[in-house]
Amino acid sequence: MNSPIMLEIKIGGNSIIYPQDLSKLLNKIAKILPAEGNEPIIINGRLPVWVFSALTYWFYHRPWIATYEPREIKGVVVGSRIADVSIGDLIEIKEIKKIYVEYP
């Protein structure tokens, strides 16, 4: 397992994204960060719940997936296939590698 990556998504324009944008957003992310790979993913952004859920589904085969929780200033693990990382675990995000995606 490699070091985790925090995926920071920014919705441009009026900050609104619609359900019909979802597959285009995923296509854009896919060019930057593949669905499968050895780095766990922490999802971050001011996004509707269905974008977080769609990205969780998208990155399902990663070692683990977390969503960033501003109230904890940490990631919360939402699914894991790694023995030493469990659902609900908090992930420190200091010094973490970040990848930025802006949509559209």
C-alpha span between 88 and 102 (Å, rounded): 28
Of positions 15, 88, 94, 95, contacts a second copy by CB under 8 A: 88
Cβ 73 vs Cβ 93: under 8 Å: yes
Let me know: does 7 contact 101? Beta carbons within 8 Å: yes
User: For a second copy, which stretch binds (CB under 8 A), given 4-12, 32-40, 76-84, 95-103?
Assistant: 76-84
90 is a contact residue toward a second copy (CB under 8 A): yes
Distances (CA, A) of 27 to 12, 23, 74, 76, 103: 16, 6, 27, 25, 11
Q: Which of the ranges 2-10, 18-26, 28-36, 96-104 carries the binding residues for a second copy, by CB under 8 A?
A: 18-26
Q: Determine the 3-state secondary structure of 102 from DSSP.
A: strand
Question: Closest approach of Cβ 99 to a second copy, in Å?
Answer: 18
Q: How many CB atoms lie within 10 A of CB 5?
A: 18
> Does 100 engage in binding with a second copy (CB under 8 A)?
no
Among 9, 29, 43, 93, indicate the residue that binds a second copy (CB under 8 A). Answer: 43
Question: Does the protein bind a second copy through residue 85 (CB under 8 A)?
Answer: no
Which residues sit at the interface with a second copy, rule CB under 8 A? 19-23, 26, 43, 47-50, 52-58, 60, 65-67, 69, 72, 76-79, 86-90
